[in-house]
Amino acid sequence: MKKLIIYSSILIAGLQAGCTKGFEELNTNPNASSPANFDAAYFIPSSQRNYMESISGYSGAILFQSGWAQIFASTTSGGANYYSNADKYAPSSNTNTYMANSWGANFTGAGRAQEVIKNVGDDPAKVNLRSAAVIMKVLNLAFIADLYGAIPYSEALQGDQGNTSPKYDSQQAAYLAMLADLEGALQSFNPSLGNLSADAFSYDGDINKWKRFGYSLMLRMAMRLVKVDANLAKTWAEKAAAGGTLSGVAEDCYIQGDNANGYSNANTRALITPADFYQVRWSKTFIDYLKSRNDPRLSAIAEVPPAGLAANNNLSAVGDNTAANQLGLPNGWDLNGGATDITNSPGYPGGTGAGADLTPIGKYSRPRIEVFHNLSNPVMILTYAETELLLAEAAVRGFSVGGTAAQHYQNAVAAALQSLSIYGSAATIAAGTATTYAAANPLDVSSPTNSLKQINEQYWATAGSYMNFVEAWNNWKRSGYPALTAVNYTGNFSSGQIPRRQPYPLNEATFNGANYQEAVSGLQGGDTWIARTWWDAN
């Protein structure tokens, strides 16, 4: 991520140069600066970083959706033990902050993209930059819409025009507008004008890869709609397939970390925090899925800690990654000594160590140290495997996307295994192993129901193995797979149900009250954790 350092430095220098005059105006609108003072292209990496921050670490995902989707489990409980938000849907001291973080990060990311759009204008020589900015704007705001429901879109990002209380568009209206904007941007790309000069994605500005990324994003958005409007989903999925989605593992989109220069992986930062390191484990649901299928990813990403409390808390003590020995922690248990203490869970295997060195959770699998403890790890944004799974589902549903559902599924499974190589040699699964496994575990085509179940369970496992928790949760919401059993922990904030959205930030009711109230009135259940948003149909 050294290129982010360079881009940020140039951007800051340009903005500082513009601050020697008109200070009062700039102080009123910190983003305002003449295009002559900086290259608008450098807002693209800033927008990308904002998006990355929203899908990883303590911004929300690892503290909410990691447990909601039952990728992770934890023995923490209430109070200051913040993983209770995820594993037990129970509040902690900073729950309100966590539920607002994504709103702030993604609107900031969209705002950076909007600055590019505004400064580039209709300059035909900069159409590629504008198109990339539109993609980033849609990527950021679609993420917010999926979390919260109705959002400001048609009037969003107009603070420089004096609109500080934008109306909320319904999620339906926002989605239709975003898809149209995305299509326009993708059709405007002009390869003859060259690549982007600034890009934090793994594409190094390659316009052809950006187009396939954009069409893959379109496909993902389209498939969100299959239950609420199948015809609309079909229309946009077919447009995405015709435009050309990601074509191989080499086109996986991620942002590489660079810890030496201050750009560390937020998931890793969280997982090496002592309490997190000790108590956060892979869930039983997740490990059981991989284990029952002899999935090669199991030994690549999971390990059982060495025996004893001290070893379980030792950040350097590498564990046992033998597939047969992996055991997932059931969701909803704690270490409080009462009825919900982990030692009372069905099938409890016993602890490890003895006396003062005893740990009750010593046999449960955690994220593998050699894979997930590198602070310079990449953060996955969107992958070929996920895209192929969406195409497989589209084919099952009768959409004209090219190829068979079985072929797309086989492509996806092989790719899902191979994509882990970006985490280093310890996570690398050989291409031959991956393709052999995919061929030996084909799609069940005996019925559409069986196919959809298999595809979407694989999607959940694939997103989960990359720690893309929000995407695993979103796809669970819209597909219903895998079948998850909710936790009903004492004092939970979702009536014992798996949360289906995040409530709006508290200050929205204060600073944009009328528009907020109108948005809430359109939710199926009000501004709660279990309200249904537009595309989250039964």
Per-residue pLDDT tens digits for 272-328: 999 899 999 999 999 999 999 999 999 999 999 999 999 999 999 999 999 999 999
Q: Are 150 and 519 in contact (CB under 8 A)?
A: yes
Using an 8 Å Cβ cutoff, are 477 and 68 in contact?
Answer: no
Residue 463's H or E segment, with its range, is helix 448-465
pLDDT surpassing 60 at residue 225: yes
Report how far residue 5's alpha carbon sits from residue 258's, in angstroms, rounded to the nearest whole number.
Answer: 9
Instruction: Give the angle subtended at the CA of 252 by the CAs of 73 and 301, to the nearest 5°.
Output: 30
Q: How many whole angstroms separate alpha carbon 6 and alpha carbon 514?
A: 42
pLDDT at 6 over 50: no
Q: Nearest Cα to 498, choosing from 348, 272, 283? A: 283
The tens digit of pLDDT for each residue in 150-180 reads 999 999 999 989 999 999 999 999 999 999 9
- Packing angle of the helix pair 448-465, 284-292 (nearest 10 deg): 120
| Distance from chain centroid for Cα 278 | 24
Q: Do residues 304 and 287 lie in contact, with contact meaning Cβ atoms separated by under 8 Å?
A: no
What whole-number distance in Å separates Cα of residue 235 and Cα of residue 183?
12
Q: At what angle do helices 384-396 and 448-465 cross, to 10 degrees?
A: 170
CA atoms in the 13 A half-sphere facing the CB of 261: 12
User: With 50 as the cut, is the pLDDT of residue 103 above it?
Assistant: yes
| Contact criterion met (CB below 8 Å) for 336 and 77 | yes
All structural domains of the chain: 2-200+500-521 (1.25.40.890), 278-372 (no CATH), 378-479 (1.20.120)
**What is the largest distance, in Å, between two alpha-carbon atoms of the chain?**
72
* pLDDT range class, residue 31, cuts 50, 70, 90: low
Which pLDDT belongs to residue 372?
97
Burial class (CB in 10 A: 0-12, 13-18, 19+), 262: exposed
Name, in order, each residue with C-beta under 8 angstroms of 298's C-beta and a sequence gap of 6 or more. 287, 290, 291, 323, 326
